[in-house]
Chains A and B, each alone.
Chain A
Amino acid sequence: MVVGLEVHVQLATATKIFCRCSTDFGAPPNSNTCPVCLALPGALLTLNEHAVDLAIRTALALGCRVQTTSIFARKNYFYPDLPKGYQISQFDKPLAVDGCVQIGARPDGSPINVRITRVHMEEDAGKSIHDRFAGVTAVDLNRAGVPLVEIVSEPDLRGAEEADAYLRTLKQILEYVAVSDVSMEKGSLRVDANISARAVGETRLGTKTEVKNMNSFSGVVRALEVEFARQCAVLDAGGRIEQQTMLWDANADEVRPARSKEGSHDYRYFPDPDLPPLILPLERIDRIERELPELPAARRARFQAEYPALTAYDIDVLTAGPGLGAYFEQVARPSGDPKTAANWVMGDVLAALKATGQAIEHFSVRPADLAQLLQMVRDGVVSHTAAKQVFAAMVKTGDPPSQIAEREGLLKVTDDSALIAWIDDVFAEHAAEAQRFAGGERRLQGVLVGHVMKKSKGAADPKRVNQLLSDRIGT
Chain B
Amino acid sequence: MSRDAEGAGLTEWSAGELADLVTRGEASPRAAADASLDRAAAAGAGRDGLNILLYEDRRDAHRQADAVAAGRDRGHAGPLAGVPVVVKDNIATTVLPTSCGSRILEGYVSPFDATAVRRLREAGAVIVAKSNMDEFAMGSSTENSAFGPARNPLAPSRVPGGSSGGSAAAVAAGIVRIALGSETGGSVRQPAAFCGVVGVKPTYGRVSRYGLVAFASSLDQIGVFGRTVDDAALGLRSIAGLDPLDPTSAPEPVAAYGDAARGSLAGVVIGRPREYFPPDLDPRIRDKCDAAIDELRSLGAEVRDVSLPHTGLAIQVYYILAPAEASSNLARFDGVRYGLRIEGDGLRGMYEATRSSGFGPEVTRRILLGTYVLSAGYYDAYYRKAQQVRALIARDFAAVFASGVHLLFTPTTPTPAFELGARSDPYEMYLSDIFTCTANLAGVPAMSIPIGRVDGMPVGGQLVASHFDERQMFAAAFALERRLGAGARQ
Contact = CB atoms under 8 A, between A and B. Distances in A.
A398 interface: no
B379 A268 contact: yes
B248 A274 contact: yes
Contacts of A273: 216-218, 248, 325
B169 interface: no
Contact of B245 (A38, A39, A44, A80): A44
B247 A39 contact: no
A44 B210 contact: yes
Interface string B97-111: 010100001001011
A139 B331 CA distance: 17
B133 interface: no
Interface residues of B, number: 43
B331 A44 contact: no
Nearest to B376: A266
A40 B376 contact: no
Contacts of B371: 268
B211 interface: yes
Contact of A276 (B100, B248, B328): B248
Given A42-B91, A44-B245, A83-B332, A274 B217 contact: yes
The main secondary structure of chain A at its interface with chain B is loop
A86 interface: yes
B334 A78 contact: yes
A84 B247 contact: no
Nearest to A264: B376
A85 interface: yes
A44 B331 CA distance: 15
A42 B325 contact: no
Nearest to B324: A270
B247 A276 contact: yes
Interface string A18-60: 0000000000000000010011111111110000000000000
Nearest to B208: A44
B98 A274 contact: no
Given A46-B244, A276-B248, A40 B217 contact: no
Most buried by A among B105, B209, B248, B331: B331
A291 B245 CA distance: 30
Contact of A139 (B91, B212, B336): B336
Given A35-B111, A80-B347, A85-B334, A44 B328 contact: no
A85 B325 CA distance: 13
A44 B247 contact: yes
B276 interface: no
Given A83-B337, A266-B376, A42 B247 contact: no
Contacts of B383: 270
Interface string B211-238: 1111011100000000000000000000
A305 to B, nearest CB: 48
Contacts of A270: 324, 328, 374, 379, 383
B217 A35 contact: no
Contacts of B92: 40-42
B402 to A, nearest CB: 24
Interface in B317-341: 324-325, 327-328, 330-332, 334, 336-338
A179 B84 CA distance: 51
A76 interface: yes
A42 B379 contact: no
A39 B209 contact: no
A83 B332 CA distance: 6
A275 interface: yes
Contact of A85 (B114, B331, B375): B331
Contact of A41 (B105, B218, B325, B351): B105
Given A41-B98, A273-B217, A76 B331 contact: yes
A76 B213 contact: no
Contacts of B248: 44, 273-274, 276
B375 A41 contact: no
Interface in A254-281: 266, 268, 270, 273-276
Interface of A: 35, 38-47, 74, 76, 78, 80, 83-86, 137, 139, 266, 268, 270, 273-276
Lowest 6 A-B CB distances belong to which pairs?
Answer: A85-B331, A273-B217, A268-B374, A273-B218, A42-B211, A42-B92
Given A39-B332, A44-B246, A86-B331, 6 more contacts: A39-B337, A44-B245, A139-B336, A266-B375, A268-B328, A268-B379
Interface of B: 91-92, 98, 100, 105, 108, 110-112, 114, 209-214, 216-218, 244-248, 324-325, 327-328, 330-332, 334, 336-338, 347, 351, 371, 374-376, 379, 383
11 contacts: A38-B337, A41-B100, A41-B105, A42-B210, A43-B210, A44-B246, A44-B248, A86-B331, A266-B376, A268-B371, A270-B328
